[in-house]
Amino acid sequence: MKLPRLHGILSQQSLGLCILSRFRHYFRNMACSELNPPETVRGMTVLDREAFTKQIVVPVLRVPETLNFNMICTEVKKYLLKIEHYKPVRKGEWVITLHPSAVKSWSDICLEDKGLRAENLVWETIMLRYENWRFDEVLKAVLPEDKEQLSAFSKIGHVVHLNLKEHLFPYKGLIGQVIMDKIHGCRTVVNKLNIIDNTYRNFQMELLAGDEDFQVLVKENGATFEFDFSKVYWNPRLATEHEKVVKMLNKCDILLDVYAGVGPFSIPAARKGCTVLANDLNPDSYEALVKNSVKNKVDSRTTCFNKNGIDFIREEVRAVILNKNQDVHFNGTIHITMNLPALAVNHLVNYVGLCKEDTLEITKFPLVHVYCFAKGTDDKKVIAQSMVEQSIGFSLNSNLKEIALIRNVAPNKDMMRVSFYLTDEILFSHATSFKRSADAKVEQTCKRKCTDNGQEEREEADCQKS
């Protein structure tokens, strides 16, 4: 901080201490118990907005009309009382409301050099109401102090989606109403139940507040998605990962999306100019996928399938690999996304020997992006790589492109992405460097329709509750 030139008896050291003293409240945590909701709302289960009314005393700076009001505002900006739906600066009245923790006396602001005097600082009573607190402040005041609070939620279009723990069930109606009141654009609040459709990854949910309308419109990575949130799988926490993978693609590439959902990988990739083959077993996801490709004007580059993921690999993926290796004009890369982290690794076995019945030489090897949950206390990248190697029966060496941490979903549990190239050995099953004694069992498990989608949602429910 550049020190001003003063004509007085202050030394540089004492001046520095004075400046630090003047700004100490700005750098300190501005928490103030006076600004909390009334203690009397603790334990409330039915929302009573009037019960949040509270009077507090705050410092108010009254600025004479002869002074430069804007300059004074700039000087005290760091001390303003900033709470929801309250204007601390009222220009027409020449009044500035300050934070009661930051300003306890005139010595805390010392604005004589700006033409103000101690008598310009007064204490006034103001009324705080329900609208002056954020949703988290309201819930913290209401919910039990000795138990875990509502930690997070997801907003999908106009729907706010919660995973409430059991001790919060008595407050669920209140929680839903508070979120409806406080979250901009929210018209529906739902709580996910533990009953999950094992086939299509959708879940049962109860309406806590608002309209029973689950048809949502979501924008992500430049694309627009429309779907019925109650019937399909959508995770807004993966937006960054969707973007990251799409950035790996070039216009001449092909994307094979094995578990496409409503298209968070497929639609942006097609918008980029890629040729896309997108698949999902859930009929509602498939229907939304088709509509979203039209909505985003990429239906000419997107072919949608409503198949089991294993069949998609054995049929469409195999056909694309063989066709593009015969196409001398194809200079792109074949990308395969497998975002089913609870079970996608098990499905990798279907690439082993995928082309063994063909005599065509493979030179354009696909790049697989497979997602998994790595559990344990060891290095999660090592765990994720080992999971992939055990499934395909081959070591990942020069064909390993990247192992990336996507997000932490629970203690000692991370969502990971392993990106690796399929090789001649894998596709033709020429080598047996790993002894895989349980191939038949794994394949039989993967064939079950429920494994193609359901377990991931169960994992996600547990993870989000954590």
Report pLDDT for 194.
Answer: 65
Q: Are residues 120 and 147 in the same domain?
A: no
Q: Are residues 254 and 346 in the same domain?
A: yes
Q: Are residues 281 and 420 in the same domain?
A: yes
Does position 429 have pLDDT exceeding 90, yes or no? no
Q: Are residues 209 and 323 in the same domain?
A: no
Find the mean pLDDT for residues 57-64.
Answer: 95
Q: Are residues 144 and 97 in the same domain?
A: no
- Residue 383 main-chain phi, psi, to 5 deg: -65, -45
Bridge pairing between strands 254-257 and 275-279: parallel
CA distances in angstroms from 97 to 63, 69, 121, 305, listed in the order given: 11, 13, 10, 61
Establish if 294 belongs to a structural domain. yes
Q: Are residues 249 and 111 in the same domain?
A: no
Does position 33 have pLDDT exceeding 60, yes or no? yes
Q: Are residues 432 and 340 in the same domain?
A: yes
Q: What pTM value is reported for the model?
A: 0.79
Phi-psi region at 169: left, alpha or beta (left = phi > 0; alpha = psi -120 to 50): alpha
Give per-residue pLDDT as tens, 274-302.
999 999 999 999 999 999 999 999 999 99
Report pLDDT for 8.
Answer: 37
Give the largest CA-CA distance in the chain.
94
Report pLDDT for 133.
Answer: 96
Instruction: Report the range of poorest mean pLDDT among 100-104, 246-250, 444-448.
Output: 444-448
Find the mean pLDDT for residues 244-264.
Answer: 97
Find the mean pLDDT for residues 358-366.
Answer: 92
Report pLDDT for 21.
Answer: 42
Q: Are 427 and 387 in contact (CB under 8 A)?
A: no
Residue 330: pLDDT band by 50, 70, 90 thresholds? very high
Find the mean pLDDT for residues 218-243.
Answer: 95
Query: Is residue 306 classed exposed, middle or buried when 0-12, 13-18 and 19+ CB atoms within 10 A define those classes?
Result: middle
Of 355, 286, 300, 306, the residue nearest 326 (C-alpha): 355
Q: Are 190 and 159 in contact (CB under 8 A)?
A: yes
Report pLDDT for 431.
Answer: 44
Establish if 225 belongs to a structural domain. no
Q: Are residues 298 and 380 in the same domain?
A: yes
Report pLDDT for 430.
Answer: 58
Report pLDDT for 30.
Answer: 55
Across the chain, mean pLDDT equals 86
Domain hosting residue 189, numbered range: 135-217
Q: Are residues 301 and 418 in the same domain?
A: yes
Residue 152: pLDDT band by 50, 70, 90 thresholds? confident
The CATH number of whichever domain residue 142 belongs to comes to 3.30.300.110
The CATH number of whichever domain residue 447 belongs to comes to 3.40.50.150
Q: Are residues 246 and 189 in the same domain?
A: no
Phi-psi region at 254: left, alpha or beta (left = phi > 0; alpha = psi -120 to 50): beta
Does position 18 have pLDDT exceeding 70, yes or no? no
Q: How distant is the alpha carbon of residue 131 from its chain centre?
A: 26
Give per-residue pLDDT as tens, 179-211.
999 999 999 999 988 655 556 667 788 999 999
Domain boundary among 115, 132, 149: 132
Domain count for the chain, please give it. 3
- d(Cα 405, Cα 422) in Å, to the nearest integer? 21
Does position 367 have pLDDT exceeding 80, yes or no? yes
Find the mean pLDDT for residues 332-346.
Answer: 96
Give per-residue pLDDT as tens, 369-393.
999 999 999 999 999 999 999 999 9
- d(Cα 100, Cα 19) in Å, to the nearest integer? 20
Q: Are residues 359 and 439 in the same domain?
A: yes
HEC string of the chain equals CCCCCCCCCCCHHHHHHHHHHHCHHHHCCCCCHHHCCCHHHCCCCCCCHHHHCEEEEEEEEECCCCCCHHHHHHHCHHHECCCCCCCCEEHHHCEEEECCCCCCCHHHCCCHHHCCCHHHEEEEEEEECHHHCCHHHHHHHHCCCCCCCCCCCEEECCEEEECCCHHHHHHHHHHHHHHHHHCCCCCEEEEEEEEECCCCCCEEEEEEEECCCCEEEEEECCEEEEEECCCCCCCHHHHHHHHHHHHHCCCCCEEEECCCCCCCCHHHHHHCCCEEEEECCCHHHHHHHHHHHHHCCCCCCEEEECCCHHHHHHHHHHHHHHHHHHCCCCCCCEEEEECCCCCHHHHHHHHCCCCCCCCCCCCCCCEEEEEEEEECCCCHHHHHHHHHHHHHCCCCCCCEEEEEEEEEEECCEEEEEEEEECCHHHHHCCCCCCCCCCHHHHHHHHHCHHHHCHHHHHHHHHHHHC
Report pLDDT for 196.
Answer: 55
